[in-house]
């Protein structure tokens, strides 16, 4: 069903005058804003020094930092267009999926997960827009765990320990929470990326934090010295609006004369010299015309965990047998598309309350709510799609120390809080599941806790469907192919249930919605077998796909790029995005993607500075 038809059914359009007011305010602000929107390049040079493919969470950073070298011309290619007015509003995030700013990917049918969704296929939103998935996500600012990065280094990637990457997190950050920004050891101010708490909170958030304390957890800044604990969500927000990486890193530098941004430009192939194995040019389509431009220095692929391996394989870099089967000439036999990881979660755990605190549609899209947001940048529309708090806890399976294995996203809304029409469309949920399970409690005051598996052992793959660059990649995450993943998530679910029984939540009349989930009727309720069935049915991806162009030394047969993020065996080509993660970090991945962009940019600049200095030394010797 087209999005326009769905939107046409929403009661929000009864408040259309408020949207007009907001549009007029926003347009005026953009016109006078020194960080206004970027211009689209329509004519191209024959060559640039650097070509960056993908303007997402990493690519936007790389383009920014490389243009700091004023003598280097940088072309940034993005398959999508610019952000929209609607995508700027945090509270409508769940309406952005499966629109024209989303690649709208689905997995292949799964046998052990996503069983509540049509054809057993999981929805995989990926940003097709300047700013990439930072435009579609729920804006949670989280860095991962110290031990994640120390493990990367221990696995043969020098320079990627926590002490090495922390300065890059700080470098990007402009934290506007005074009590957090005061901790200079872990936080920064003055960076491009604005970080602040959402301007709207419900009383449910205080209950969530207090419930964690009752269970023995501390209320801490989980992006600082200790990750285990409960916290108010920190967000990539700015004055009540979304702070995407395009807004943070591209708009402020849009007038640099050496930056060229081309939107709606789909890259078909990276041209590689078969004899020298040098990446020389990029072929892309824009407006129905094919262009081929050279890179004098490097090509940087920042297209994301799905599209980066897709592009490498289309260019002849990937598993030999797979490429041969598609008639693609082999340039490098590498395990591109393997090692796919994702944070899988239970998405359907709902708790009702007897207080009017939930984010229900009638409050969300009222005229007063829209005007409050337009005029003051607050109210429900300033919330992170209802996400108010996050927490990291340890199950009995977790290793010693501060390395939790479950993350919670605490949400003052649930699937039944949203329009049923939108919800079923966005998730592809089977009609009988919606009708039998969620429809009876639609628009009831509720909250939701989403237990998320942090370090999955299951591994999936990305493969090409054909050698056509327009063909959708074949995505097979193989969730729960390792049963240990399910065991950990079951424990996380039971801890979530215990949290709901604390005094803090019971004061709000909290009650677990204990209707048996469709498809799990044969299991004894509340046993591990039942929870496992529930999880396998309502398996929810959390946008954290990683690993498909794995970083590792040349001795690692599973690696695609080296610790400098250079593609093994190919000169002049790097991958810079979450696909390089050897193992997914223990938290949301948007901010680590930004860190990767920052660190890679310094690597690239340092290498070309060395080459320049070496060339000067050679010239002096010849004189």
Pair type for strands 406-411 and 474-476: unpaired
The full 3-state SS of 400-451, as one line of letters, equals: CCCCCCEEEEEECCCHHHCCHHHHHHHHCECHHHHHHHHHHHCCCCEEEEEE
Tell me how far apart the alpha carbons of residues 59 and 318 are, in angstroms, rounded to a whole number: 22
Q: Within its chain, how far is the Cα of 289 from the centroid? A: 31
Q: Say which residues have a Cβ less than 8 Å from residue 379's Cβ, sequence separation at least 6.
A: 200, 368, 369, 372, 373
- Decide if 174 contacts 190 (C-beta within 8 A): yes
Catalytic residue among 95, 187, 268, 544: 544
Helix, coil or strand: residue 202: coil
The DSSP 8-state label assigned to residue 460 in this structure reads B
The DSSP 8-state label assigned to residue 5 in this structure reads H
Pair type for strands 74-77 and 237-238: unpaired
Q: Please give the biggest Cα pair distance in the chain.
A: 85
Provide the sign of the torsion angle of the four alpha carbons 80, 85, 91, 92, taken in this order.
negative
Closest CA to 262 of 287, 299, 297, 294: 287
- Decide if 587 contacts 392 (C-beta within 8 A): yes
Provide the sign of the torsion angle of the four alpha carbons 317, 321, 324, 325, taken in this order.
negative
Tell me how far apart the alpha carbons of residues 392 and 399 are, in angstroms, rounded to a whole number: 14
Closest CA to 131 of 71, 83, 182, 169: 83
Tokens 């009727």 -> residue: 521
Radius of gyration over every alpha carbon of the chain, rounded to an integer in angstroms: 24
Closest CA to 245 of 409, 87, 96, 75: 87
Q: Which class for 555: exposed (0-12), middle (13-18), buried (19 or more C-beta within 10 A)?
A: exposed
CA distances (Å), origin 144, targets 228, 379, 537: 11, 29, 27
Tell me how far apart the alpha carbons of residues 127 and 133 are, in angstroms, rounded to a whole number: 4
- Active site annotation includes 544: yes
The DSSP 8-state label assigned to residue 140 in this structure reads B
Tell me how far apart the alpha carbons of residues 140 and 390 are, in angstroms, rounded to a whole number: 9
Tokens 């094919």 -> residue: 290
Tell me how far apart the alpha carbons of residues 261 and 145 are, in angstroms, rounded to a whole number: 34
- Decide if 330 contacts 316 (C-beta within 8 A): yes
- Decide if 587 contacts 407 (C-beta within 8 A): yes
CA distances (Å), origin 602, targets 63, 168, 554, 598, 613: 12, 10, 22, 7, 16
Which residues are tagged catalytic? 544
């Amino acid at each position: 069903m087209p999005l326009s038809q769905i939107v046409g059914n929403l009661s929000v359009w009864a408040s259309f005058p408020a949207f007009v007011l907001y549009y007029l305010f926003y347009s005026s602000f953009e016109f006078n804003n020194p960080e206004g929107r970027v211009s689209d390049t329509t004519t191209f040079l024959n060559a640039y020094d650097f070509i960056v493919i993908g303007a997402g969470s990493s690519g936007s950073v790389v383009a920014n930092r490389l243009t700091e070298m004023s003598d280097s011309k940088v072309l940034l290619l993005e398959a999508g267009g610019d952000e929209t007015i609607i995508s700027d509003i945090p509270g409508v995030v769940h309406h952005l999926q499966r629109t024209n700013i989303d690649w709208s990917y689905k997995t292949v049918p799964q046998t052990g997960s996503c069983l509540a969704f049509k054809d057993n296929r999981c929805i995989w939103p990926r940003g097709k827009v300047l700013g990439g998935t930072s435009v579609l996500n729920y804006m949670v600012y989280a860095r991962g765990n110290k031990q994640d990065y120390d493990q990367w280094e221990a696995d043969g990637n020098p320079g990627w320990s926590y002490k090495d990457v922390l300065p890059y997190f700080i470098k990007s950050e402009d934290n506007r929470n005074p009590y957090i920004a005061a901790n200079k050891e872990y936080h920064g101010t003055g960076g491009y990326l604005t970080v602040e708490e959402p301007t709207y909170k419900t009383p449910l958030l205080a209950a969530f934090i207090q419930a964690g304390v009752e269970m023995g957890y501390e209320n801490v800044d989980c992006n600082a010295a200790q990750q285990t604990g409960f916290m108010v969500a920190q967000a990539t927000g700015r004055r009540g609006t979304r702070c995407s990486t395009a807004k943070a890193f591209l708009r402020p530098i849009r007038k640099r004369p050496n930056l060229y941004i081309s939107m709606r430009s789909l890259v078909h192939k990276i041209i590689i010299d078969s004899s020298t194995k040098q990446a020389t040019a990029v072929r892309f389509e824009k407006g129905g015309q094919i262009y081929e431009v050279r890179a004098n220095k490097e090509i940087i692929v920042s297209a994301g965990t799905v599209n980066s391996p897709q592009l490498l394989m289309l260019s002849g870099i990937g598993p030999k047998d797979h490429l041969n089967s598609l008639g693609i000439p082999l340039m490098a036999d590498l395990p591109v598309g393997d090692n796919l990881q994702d944070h899988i979660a239970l998405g359907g755990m709902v708790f009702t309350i007897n207080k009017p605190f939930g984010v229900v549609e009638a409050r969300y899209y009222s005229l007063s709510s829209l005007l409050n947001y337009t005029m003051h940048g607050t109210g429900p529309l300033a919330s992170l799609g209802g996400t108010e708090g996050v927490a990291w806890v340890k199950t009995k399976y977790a290793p010693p120390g501060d390395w939790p294995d479950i993350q919670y996203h605490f949400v003052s809304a649930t699937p039944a809080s949203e329009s049923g029409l939108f919800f079923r469309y966005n998730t592809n949920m089977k009609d009988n599941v919606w009708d039998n399970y969620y429809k009876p409690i639609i628009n009831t005051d509720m909250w939701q806790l989403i237990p998320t598996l942090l370090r999955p052992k299951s591994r999936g793959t990305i493969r090409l469907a054909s050698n056509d660059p327009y063909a959708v990649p074949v995505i097979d995450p193989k969730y729960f192919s390792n049963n240990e993943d399910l065991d950990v998530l079951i424990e996380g679910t039971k801890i979530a249930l215990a949290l709901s029984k604390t005094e803090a939540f019971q004061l709000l009349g909290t009650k677990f919605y204990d209707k048996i989930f469709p498809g799990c009727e044969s299991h004894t309720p509340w046993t591990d077998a039942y929870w496992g069935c529930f999880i396998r049915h309502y398996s929810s991806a959390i946008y954290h796909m990683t690993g498909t162009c794995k970083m590792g030394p040349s001795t690692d047969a599973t690696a695609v790029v080296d610790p400098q993020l250079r593609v093994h065996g190919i000169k002049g080509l790097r991958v810079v995005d979450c696909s390089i993660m050897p193992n997914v970090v223990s938290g949301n991945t948007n901010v680590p993607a930004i860190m990767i962009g920052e660190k890679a940019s310094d690597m690239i600049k340092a290498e070309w500075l060395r080459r320049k200095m070496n060339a000067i030394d050679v010239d002096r010797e010849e004189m």
